[in-house]
Amino acid sequence: MARTILFPTDGSATAKAAGRFAADIAKGEGDTVLVFAVAEKADIGGVEDEGVSQGISEFLQGVVDDEVAALTALGVNATAQVAIATKADEEIVKKAKEIGADAIVMGTHGRSGLARAVIGSVADRVARHAEVPVVLVPLVKE
């Protein structure tokens, strides 16, 4: 049975590792991978700077297009989409529900302690709120 996998990316090395993992899951199964990026709204002094938000969105479109090309080269059926939203984690969870995703595969930077408390973790919030399994792929340092 074909599955739909949501692969959120920000273009980081960690996200690229998650992309290869998503490809391994999807290859040969007839699965579809939606490569998804969220441009968080640029809030400057309480007002959205639409030009900055649009610039980030355009940059991320290149990121998702590159990931689709990489996945397609590996034999995976992949499509791309970019959204502009206030909170990336909420938009990812919403998109998973919207497309009927069977799983979410995303990278995690593996921060802990104070760094995690201060910076937060989109991956952690997605894992806590998603209604489907979430596979978190760390960047393996060699």
pLDDT tens profile 62-94 = 999 999 999 999 999 999 999 999 899 999 999
Which pLDDT score is estimated for 133? Answer: 96
The listed CATH number (3.90.1150.10, 3.40.50.620, 3.40.50.300, 2.60.34.10) that belongs to domain 15-138: 3.40.50.620
Backbone angles phi, psi at 107, to 5 degrees: -80, 155
Question: CB atoms < 10 A from the CB of 88, how many?
Answer: 20
pLDDT band of 118, cuts 50, 70, 90: very low
Q: Are 95 and 132 in contact, with CB atoms under 8 Å apart?
A: no
CA 111 to chain centre: 17
Which pLDDT score is estimated for 140? Answer: 67
In the sheet that 103-108 helps form, which strands lie side by side, from edge to edge? 77-85, 32-40, 4-8, 103-108, 134-138
Measured distance between the N- and C-terminal CA atoms of the chain, rounded to whole angstroms? 36
pLDDT tens profile 52-65 = 878 889 999 999 99
Which pLDDT score is estimated for 117? Answer: 46
H/E stretch holding 42 reads none
